[in-house]
Every structure is written in structure tokens, then in C-alpha cells.
């Protein structure tokens, strides 16, 4: 079964109306592979701006959300608010949310359930830290993270799984295409065993961690790598090159 290639750009806490406006112009004017689903993760304060300026062929994602529709949760945003801005995706469980802001597996699972119930697509992030990889427990860590997400998913068609080895995010170190493929293949096997064969074959597992114009083609050629979640490079014109990695 063919899985539509998916490229997410995570702008993180970067940009202003001027620089993001220029980036959006570049993207709108760029020649992009029509067989790729592209979603840009904008800071929450710019979700409306990004959605109104970006061409309709590009999706927009929030970078986080909370687990309830509304209430006394200062500083948080809900899936209902995200949808009200015309935005259809949210990134959940990014390693910066886990390790900088202390979000637990349990909270990420609850957020995933609530976002999906409210009709958002979820880019769910998992990945091991350097000491975990060196300690030989990569599989144990990513399977445990995946299980909490899986326990909260009813409709897998709305979920993209993003494998991001924490040691490769923003460090300039990229997992080799073989390292990425190995984990992606094991994740697909885990889904086959613990969810279903149909889900394992259809769900997109994308790679994140210092993806650039230089590394994207070889990564994209791996059998179980169905796209990318791109950080820093998504703010540069080379993002177009990464979108076209399969072309």
C-alpha cells in the first residue's frame, strides 16, 4: 500500500511577520511535488497569519495544545481554538515539550486523544536521548512512548508518527539513513503486533533530526521513511528541496 509522503516544517519559536511572510511567499511561489503532503508548524500567535497567507495546498499545524476544550488554563490553547483559526493539525510530544517543559507520556497521550476527538490531525513525536541509545535501550524507550500514543488513538488515518532521535535534533548530527530505517522498520513491526497489520502498513512514520537539503534524498529512499519533520531547515528556502526529496 502506498503511503503519501509527508513533510512537516516545525518553525518552533522562530520568526516574525516579516520573515515568516517572506518564507511563505517563497513556499507559495516554489515548485513543489504535488504528491507530497506539506504541513507547517507555526507559533500559536501566528497560526491565523500563516493560515491566511499560505497557499491552500499547504497545511498548518499548531506546535502544541491542551487536553480540554476551554477553561482556567492560562497560556494554553485548545484544539477547538486551533480549528477556529482554520488549522487542522497539531504537533504533540515533541522532545522539547518532553525534556524542556517536562511533559509526561501520560499527558501527551491525553492531549492526543482530545486533539483527535476534536478532528485535528496529530503529528505524534517519539525518540530516544543519547544516553538511551548508547545504553542500548532505544527500542524500549520508543516502544513505550508509542504505546501511550496508540492507547489513545481510535482513527489512525489522522495520525503521523514522527521518530526524532533527541541526540540528532538541532545538533547537526543526523541518524544515518540505515539507523533511521532500522527504527522505522521496528516501529512498523510494533504496530503490526500491537495495533493491526492494516495500520502498520498505512500509517506514515516520518523522520526528524537535522534533516537538510543535503541529507534528505538518501533518507527519503529508505523503505519505511515516509517523510520528515524538519526544524531549522524549514525556515530556509531549502525546505522546498526537502519537500521534493522523492521527486
Q: Give the residue numbers marked as catalytic.
A: 94, 164
Q: For residue 89, which of 195, 6, 31 has the smallest C-alpha distance?
A: 6
Q: How far apart are CA 173 and CA 169, in angstroms?
A: 7
* Residue 159 dihedral angles phi and psi, to the nearest 5°: -120, 135
Judge contact between 166 and 129, C-beta under 8 A: yes
Judge contact between 241 and 212, C-beta under 8 A: no
- 14: cell is 522562530
Non-local (6+) Cβ contacts of 214 within 8 A are none
Q: How far apart are CA 166 and CA 123, in angstroms?
A: 16
* Residue 59 dihedral angles phi and psi, to the nearest 5°: -90, 165
Q: For residue 129, which of 96, 105, 104, 160 has the smallest C-alpha distance?
A: 96
Where are any strands of DSSP class E within the chain? 5-10, 36-41, 59-62, 89-92, 121-126, 159-163, 204-208, 227-230
Amino acid at each position: 500500500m502506498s503511503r503519501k509522503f509527508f513533510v512537516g516544517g516545525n518553525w518552533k519559536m522562530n520568526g516574525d511577520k516579516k520573515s515568516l511572510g517572506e518564507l511563505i511567499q517563497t513556499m507559495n511561489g516554489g515548485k513543489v511535488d504535488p504528491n507530497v503532503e506539506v504541513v507547517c508548524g507555526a507559533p500559536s500567535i501566528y497560526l491565523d497569519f500563516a493560515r491566511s497567507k499560505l497557499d491552500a495546498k499547504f497545511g498548518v499545524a499548531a506546535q502544541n495544545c491542551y487536553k480540554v476544550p476551554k477553561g482556567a488554563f492560562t497560556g494554553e490553547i485548545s484544539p477547538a481554538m486551533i480549528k477556529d483559526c482554520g488549522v487542522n493539525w497539531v504537533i504533540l510530544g515533541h522532545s522539547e515539550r518532553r525534556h524542556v517543559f517536562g511533559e509526561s507520556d501520560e499527558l501527551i497521550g491525553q492531549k492526543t486523544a482530545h486533539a483527535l476527538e476534536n478532528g485535528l490531525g496529530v503529528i505524534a513525536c517519539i525518540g530516544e536521548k543519547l544516553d538511551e541509545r548508547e545504553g542500548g535501550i532505544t527500542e524500549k524507550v520508543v516502544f513505550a512512548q508509542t504505546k501511550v500514543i496508540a492507547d489513545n488513538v481510535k482513527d489512525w488515518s489522522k495520525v503521523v508518527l514522527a521518530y526524532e532521535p533527541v541526540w540528532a535534533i538541532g545538533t547537526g548530527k543526523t541518524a544515518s539513513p540505515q539507523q533511521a530505517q532500522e527504527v522505522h522498520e521496528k516501529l512498523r513491526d510494533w504496530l503490526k503486533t500491537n495495533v493491526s497489520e492494516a495500520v502498520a502498513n498505512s500509517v506514515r512514520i516520518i523522520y526528524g533530526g537535522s534533516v537538510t537539503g543535503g541529507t534528505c534524498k538518501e533518507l527519503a529512499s529508505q523503505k519505511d521513511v515516509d517523510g520528515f519533520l524538519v526544524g531549522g531547515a524549514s525556515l530556509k528556502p531549502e525546505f522546498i528541496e526537502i519537500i521534493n526529496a522523492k521527486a
